[in-house]
Amino acid sequence: MKLSQLFDGSRPIISIEIFPPKTADGDAALRRNISTLLKHKPAFVSCTYGAGGSTRDRTLAWCQEIQSAFATTAMAHFTCVGSTREELLDWLAQARAAGIENIMALRGDPPAGQQSFTAVEGGLGNANELVELIRATYPEMSIGVAGYPEKHVEAPSLEQDLQNLKRKVDAGADAVFTQLFFVNENFLRFRDRCQQLGIQIPIVPGIMPITDFARIRRITSMCGSVIPEKLASQLEAVQDDADAQFEIGVQFAIQQCQELLKEGVPGIHFYALNKSDAVQRILNDLGV
């Protein structure tokens, strides 16, 4: 089923994001965790696309498995990094032949060792160009794009970042999925400003439950997301107690999700990090 059909406004939908493991043991563990999370009937599972396109084949393989073995809609991530237009079209043809109907279109991060993104010769430089390419080549596909409630780290201002998002939406995106955040007010202000710009497609909050404070600090240092001081202090106080970090992080995420659902969000997209315990606890508490 396509994003454009899933977000029909009848109810908020739940989605899960995974990444392709690097080992056979990782594959087996992910299959177990997907099976656990699918008991909550998420609308779809998305699979990331490794840095520089390093997992492009694995991304497609996992999306095929999600749809065939698990009978659940998949969304494949897709970036511009390191690929010419012809190579991008080749990957899209493979995705379409594999039965993938939903694409998460991203510019992608600069390759390791590069400070800024530079398109390869014959490639694309921005996500809106990738959306245009997908929409022109496979108009039947549904397309998700990324939004940044607290601004993309490379954007000179939030206003410029919102204009960049508007270009992606105008190019043909069907839904916006946000970067992880921990301050709901920042998301709500972002949503309001998007609506003021005329962005009418669903804006879906991205939630990453904190289960390891050190890991989250590394992630937020790269993406610019804000961790509230009170939450940071609570986690720092138990940084040597993994179980306590898990409980604090999960309870915070439950509260986040409850507040967001009351605000009428069209869905919640969980960054599960290939594990099921935290997201399962949250969904159980939410009654999903």
Cβ-contact 128, 167 below 8 angstroms: yes
- For 18, 106, 163, the CA distances from 5, given in Å and listed in that order, are 22, 21, 26
Assess whether 17 carries a catalytic annotation.
Answer: yes
Contacts of 163 (CB under 8 A, 6+ apart): 197
What is the phi/psi pair of residue 239, to 5°? -65, -15
Helix (H) or strand (E) holding 267: strand 267-271
The Cα 84–Cα 20 span in angstroms is 23
Amino acid found at 132: E
Take residue 107 and report the two structure tokens written for it.
């510019």
Q: Which of 17, 65, 101, 129 is catalytic?
A: 17
Take residue 114 and report the two structure tokens written for it.
């590069």
Helix (H, G, I), strand (E, B) or coil at 263: coil
What residues act catalytically?
17
